[in-house]
Amino acid sequence: MFFGEYRHNIDTKGRLIIPAKFRNQLKQHFMITRGLDGCLFGYTASQWEQVQTEVDQLPFNKSAARKFSRLFFSAATECELDKQGRVNLPEPLRAYASLTKQCVLTGVSSRFEIWDAARWQKYNEQAQTEFNDIAEDLLDF
């Protein structure tokens, strides 16, 4: 399970330190792809298999399902950590999430997310103002 919030800088070569608490769960190989809301999603290998199964069950005759599947899988990259605990993020993923310098890595249960720090701050501030309303709406779900 991933949880917590960590701040690290991405270097000019696209390398980003993965927090030690995340590294312990990721093992040798893991996956990173486009996420929602302008961030990247990271998954352990076993969790990636579950996500892949779920996405594969979307109705391929629906345009939205095909678009989502194409965008989600076409950007996916298998990653491994270097000796310093860093991952090298490909340029298309860095561009998608607007990652240039300061990044925030957040744990979100079965995945982790990588955000541009300014984008995360803006998203987080807005979401916090709606937190109680969101909780009420989801309790009805």
Q: Which CATH number do you get for residue 60?
A: 3.40.1550.20
Distance from C-alpha of 51 to C-alpha of 31, rounded to nearest angstrom? 11
Q: Phi and psi dihedrals of 114, rounded to 5? A: -120, 120
pLDDT in tens, the chain (141 residues): 999 999 999 999 999 999 999 999 998 899 999 999 999 999 999 999 999 999 999 999 999 999 999 999 999 999 999 999 999 999 999 999 999 999 999 999 999 999 999 999 999 999 999 988 888 888 766
Distance from C-alpha of 4 to C-alpha of 32, rounded to nearest angstrom? 18
Domain range for residue 126?
5-140
Domain count, the chain: 1
Given a contact cutoff of 8 angstroms between Cβ atoms, the answer to whether 42 and 31 are in contact is yes
pLDDT for res 92:
97
pLDDT for res 141:
61
CB neighbours of 118 closer than 8 A, spacing ≥ 6?
102
Distance from C-alpha of 18 to C-alpha of 80, rounded to nearest angstrom? 10
Question: Which amino acid type is present at position 90?
Answer: P
Write down the pTM of the prediction.
Answer: 0.95
